[in-house]
Amino acid sequence: MKRYRFKFYGRVQGVGFRYFVYTKAYTLGLNGFVKNLDDGTVEAEVEGEEEKILRFLELILKGNGILRIDDIEKEEVEVKGDKKFKILYY
């Protein structure tokens, strides 16, 4: 079990990105959260099997036809044991 924090840069707010991230994480059975940050980026923490997290990242990078990812920061963080994936609105 692994957990990673991702910070996505580019056109990632106002384009359905949080819901897109949620659907990919949910489909893969991953846990964690996604939220907009005040600086225009989006942060996600994703927890689960490493191979599923890598697949999640591949799907996110393919995009939804509207969003644009210019850069990603990735950091391994402590596993929290979340039971589902959530969109945070604060």
Active-site positions read 18, 36
Query: What's phi and psi for 45, nearest 5 deg?
Result: -115, 130
Which DSSP category does 26 fall into?
H
Q: Are 47 and 31 in contact (CB under 8 A)?
A: yes
In 3D, which of 31, 12, 20, 88 has the Cα closest to residue 59?
A: 20
